[in-house]
Chains A and B, each alone.
Chain A
Amino acid sequence: MLPYLSLAIWVPVVAGLLVLAVNRDADAAAARWLALVGAVAGFAVTIPLYVHFRLGTGEMQFVEAVEWIPRFNVNYLLGVDGISLLFILLNSFITVLVVWAGWIVIETRVAQYMAAFLIMSGLINGVFASLDGVLFYVFFEAMLIPMYLIIGIWGGPNRVYAAIKFFLYTLLGSFLMLVAFIYLYSVSGGSFSILEWYQLPLSLKTQLLLFVAFFLSFAVKVPMWPVHTWLPDAHVEAPTGGSVVLAALTLKVGAYGFVRFVLPILPDASHYLANFVITLSLIAVIYIGFVALVQADMKKLIAYSSIAHMGFVTLGFFLFSELGVEGGLVQMLSHGFVSAAMFLCVGVLYDRMHSRKIADYGGVVNTMPKFAALAMLFAMANAGLPGTSGFVGEFMVILAAVKANFWVGFLAAVTLILGAAYTLWMYKRVWFGAVVSERVAALKDVSRREFWLLSTLAAVVLFMGVYPKPFTDVMRASVTELLAHVARSKL
């Protein structure tokens, strides 16, 4: 069998480096095609992972182990379970769309733009596939470099502030995580293997300190209230593709960190602090929902809605039930598709009007009917309408929450109202009503490229909403395994 995981990581990275070779703006067309081929190839090599994946076992599959830095017993150790597999697929799929979305929109330094996204994609796959702490950390950090450049070079007017804030915020958490890794290496007698850390007995005090380090790192990435403030800035300033990758993929890395590190390595601390995390999650769901309601900028609104949706994910994880964790994971996947679609919709409008202000729009449905139909579907999915992917995860988490504690479930369910309120109100103000200005009247409906781009996502969102079984089947055994680790005290 081919080393599919290595291919999933290195095909996009190598493609990105090749794209960099055609750096002149005159060769932009070549750079675009090369990038698309690279992205499609990157997605193609991940399909065998799904096809050959053995269901019904929580073990790591497609394991690759090569000695890397014997000085610190660091190995190039890759493997996926049912949880990480889905995110590798999501990432490789979204990358194809992102390259395609930037096709004619980006005109300056095309090669660098495309290369940044391809390299980013490979690094994100690396994060999900790593089973070695240092390897994970290397991918986790290296991811920051392309994103920093994407926001800073192709971003909006306040891009420098946003890029630096994004970088430093994330760096704070991850530096502390590095110390935590090294500490675990030291107490485990010299091992960076994540799976070996699962077996490591740790006192409650140690677990709590490690929890703080891990929590800061992943909570910033998710982002959870109150360390979320970098996200709206980064989203607003980033180019469309950057926003898509941020929302659909890098936020997932943070949530993934909770299931890969925090829950199984620190089960006692997780139980001890579960109420704390649940409280923060509920604040994100409710308070940030209200914040989203008053936004005047479409991208900011979607950014805040992302924070609220990710609140559901962390809430689901810390309920420690099969339904909750699975719900959280489904929500992550769904949010990956829906937020990508929402940001692409804003991108479609922004490319035509160069404004993200809700007030500048009105009556878009009259001039862009096809686009309005697609956007409607995504808005509904964002609001969690049954039949769309957005419903499945939220429903599972609410169900799990009600089982655990009625009031937690009740508060979480508020999102169904808030989500509908901010999404549909925005939809109403932008799309419905009379045409407000001549510029809106002059809008052209979606091009073929944009239509297929959005339709692909629409198909996935509907499919996942109607028939989520292919996704939940893959993750089931791994979730059971995870919960077994969480239930076993390490004291």
Chain B
Amino acid sequence: MTGTPVNFDFLPALPEITLLIAACVVLMVDLVLPETRRKWSYWLTQLGVVATAWLSLYVFHESPAHTFGNTFVADALADVLKFLSCVTVALTLAYSRSYLTARGLFRGETFALMMFALLGMMVMISANHFLLLYLGLELMSLSLYAMIALQRESGQAVEAAMKYFVLGALASGLLLYGMSMIYGATGTLDVTRVATTVFAGGVNKTMLAFGLVFVVSAVAFKLGAVPFHMWVPDVYEGAPTAMTLFVGSAPKLAAFGFMTRLLVGALAAMAFDWQGMLLILSLLSMIAGNVIAIAQTNIKRMLAYSTIANMGYMLMGFLAANINGYSAAMFYTITYVMTTLVSFGIVLLLSRAGFEADQLDDFKGLNQRSPWYAFLMLLTMFSLAGIPPTVGFYAKFAVIEAAVDVGLVWLAVVAVLASLIGAYYYLRIVKLMYFDDPVDLAPLEARSDTRALLSINGLALLLLGIFPQWLLGMCVVALTRSY
């Protein structure tokens, strides 16, 4: 360091510290709890996560606060993303409760792993140093691998965890390699100083570009963008549905934060180079994701390909490389996560002990079994297809606007044609629920708190579709105050 005293202010990291303590408490308390009192650790976990969420927003940062020797930053973007990640994890836990209980996964380890994964995400979101970014990513990923493998007796789950682990390790390797090249070119790992060094010029452009390629690949892997998407369908299908929901929701927010720190925070001056790469990733993801999803008969696999396609749309906003585009991408990510919560929430609701509702046909006649859940699922499907008045429309609208605004009209046209293909398989779910007769007549049972949360979550898709301004505005504010 340059001789100035290293800044060790703990306040900006208060949410992380709280969550860490909460995770440790849950681990300890769970050791002494008898099996019948397991729900205490559940409620302790919820308490910890909700308290963290509250703290993230309570200490809202009007301007960025750096700490721990400038390796850690708390700014408006981080506050918003952390808050949303915590809420997402809290909802995931609530929706999964019955499912986990029925499969013997309602255990302290599950909760602790979830909290550590969340901690990893929060570190990714707030990191201002390449090493810290890497550490956050690893903390999250290792917890996720373990969570998927928790269901030891299921060969499929273990296989999914193994695949995820091997490919994830490869991606981490790519990331480290890329970071080392950037270090070689700029002589620093500090995000702020990388940015100023690259901006000032005079660095080895070739080495920097090489590093960038590896970094972008790692980001694309975490997002599940084509051609780095191979793990997504297998992991989504193989993992227990509760874990699929976990993997498919909050980590996307973290990945967005991660991508923003790397590409906007550190390498904004290289925008021209990474725009081209993101363009290809986006194009391939939109097309391949939507086309392959049509052929799926397993809803988890179908939603996996839908994720891939959606990440393509998100990248389309991002590659505009201006605040307008980043905020569109952020809005896209947030609404996508909200939608995923509802769709997997309903899959979890339909599953029972010894029965996984993971086939498309399990949705047959849902309107006759439960008009309300069918309606919520209808909202999700139309939201994913981008049909107003659901929030998914504004998500697509915003990213298309960002692309058209920088002159990429052709990309916008390809994007809408790809979503036309996508509309087909979303409509098929609606068809199964509304036009077909039920095969499975078992009554739908759910805890009343799950019902209430799921309903609020689902209706939010509609309400935000009618009044999208505050969320759209919030994304702009979060980004302008941070960059």
Instruction: Specify which of B389, B417, B435, B472 is in contact with A163 (CB 8 Å cutoff).
Output: B435
B-chain residues with CB within 8 Å of residue A153 when the two chains form the complex: 434-435
A-chain residues with CB within 8 Å of residue B135 when the two chains form the complex: none
Contact B423 A168 (CB under 8 A): yes
Q: What distance in Å separates the Cβ of A373 from its nearest Cβ neighbour in chain B?
A: 38
- If the complex has contacts A144-B387, A171-B420, are A69 and B427 also in contact, measured as CB distance less than 8 A? no
Contact B469 A68 (CB under 8 A): yes
A23 close to chain B: CB less than 8 A: yes
CA A171 to CA B472, docked complex, whole Å: 25
- If the complex has contacts A142-B387, A186-B404, are A176 and B435 also in contact, measured as CB distance less than 8 A? no
In this complex, the interface size class of chain B, counting residues with CB under 8 Å from chain A, is: 20 to 34
Contact A176 B382 (CB under 8 A): no
Q: What distance in Å separates the Cβ of A24 from its nearest Cβ neighbour in chain B?
A: 10
Proximity string of chain A (152-182) to chain B, C-beta cutoff 8 Å, 1 when within and 0 when not = 1100000110011001100110011011001
Binds A, one of B136-144, B204-212, B393-401: B393-401
In B370-399, the 8 Å CB interface with A consists of 371, 382, 387-389, 393-394, 397-398
A contact residues, total (Cβ < 8 Å): 34
Contact A182 B400 (CB under 8 A): yes
B-chain residues with CB within 8 Å of residue A148 when the two chains form the complex: 427, 430
Contact B387 A71 (CB under 8 A): no
A-chain residues with CB within 8 Å of residue B476 when the two chains form the complex: 71
Contact A145 B387 (CB under 8 A): yes
Instruction: Specify which of B397, B409, B427, B473 is in contact with A178 (CB 8 Å cutoff).
Output: B397
Q: What distance in Å separates the Cβ of B372 from its nearest Cβ neighbour in chain A?
A: 9
Contact A168 B420 (CB under 8 A): yes
Contact B404 A69 (CB under 8 A): no
Contact A164 B424 (CB under 8 A): yes
CA A145 to CA B390, docked complex, whole Å: 11
Contact B427 A164 (CB under 8 A): yes
B447 close to chain A: CB less than 8 A: no
CA A172 to CA B416, docked complex, whole Å: 8
Contact A145 B382 (CB under 8 A): yes
A-chain residues with CB within 8 Å of residue B387 when the two chains form the complex: 141-142, 144-145, 171
CA A286 to CA B390, docked complex, whole Å: 41
Proximity string of chain B (417-444) to chain A, C-beta cutoff 8 Å, 1 when within and 0 when not = 1011001100110110011000000000
Instruction: Specify which of A68, A71, A159, A179 is in contact with B404 (CB 8 Å cutoff).
Output: A179
- If the complex has contacts A145-B387, A186-B404, are A69 and B371 also in contact, measured as CB distance less than 8 A? no
Contact A182 B397 (CB under 8 A): yes
Name which residue of chain A comes closest to B466, CB basis.
Answer: A138
Name which residue of chain A comes closest to B401, CB basis.
Answer: A182
CA A137 to CA B386, docked complex, whole Å: 12
Contact B434 A179 (CB under 8 A): no
Name which residue of chain B comes closest to A72, CB basis.
Answer: B401
Name which residue of chain A comes closest to B389, CB basis.
Answer: A142
Name which residue of chain B comes closest to A172, CB basis.
Answer: B420
Contact B431 A160 (CB under 8 A): yes
Contact A178 B400 (CB under 8 A): yes
B-chain residues with CB within 8 Å of residue A137 when the two chains form the complex: 388
Contact B404 A182 (CB under 8 A): yes
B468 close to chain A: CB less than 8 A: yes
CA A70 to CA B476, docked complex, whole Å: 12
Contact B431 A152 (CB under 8 A): yes
CA A178 to CA B417, docked complex, whole Å: 12
Contact A23 B472 (CB under 8 A): no
Q: What distance in Å separates the Cβ of B360 from its nearest Cβ neighbour in chain A?
A: 14
CA A186 to CA B389, docked complex, whole Å: 23
A185 close to chain B: CB less than 8 A: yes
B28 close to chain A: CB less than 8 A: no
Q: What distance in Å separates the Cβ of A327 from its nearest Cβ neighbour in chain B?
A: 34
A272 close to chain B: CB less than 8 A: no
A149 close to chain B: CB less than 8 A: yes
A467 close to chain B: CB less than 8 A: no
Proximity string of chain B (242-279) to chain A, C-beta cutoff 8 Å, 1 when within and 0 when not = 00000000000000000000000000000000000000
Contact A152 B401 (CB under 8 A): no
Contact A176 B393 (CB under 8 A): no
> Can you show 13 pairs from A to B with CB atoms below 8 A apart?
A68-B469, A69-B468, A70-B469, A141-B387, A142-B389, A167-B423, A171-B387, A175-B419, A175-B420, A176-B416, A182-B400, A182-B401, A182-B412
List chain A positions with a Cβ less than 8 A from chain B: 23, 68-72, 112, 134, 137-138, 141-142, 144-145, 148-149, 152-153, 159-160, 163-164, 167-168, 171-172, 175-176, 178-179, 182-183, 185-186
Closest 8 A/B residue pairs (Cβ):
A175-B416, A138-B388, A71-B472, A152-B435, A69-B469, A182-B404, A179-B412, A141-B388
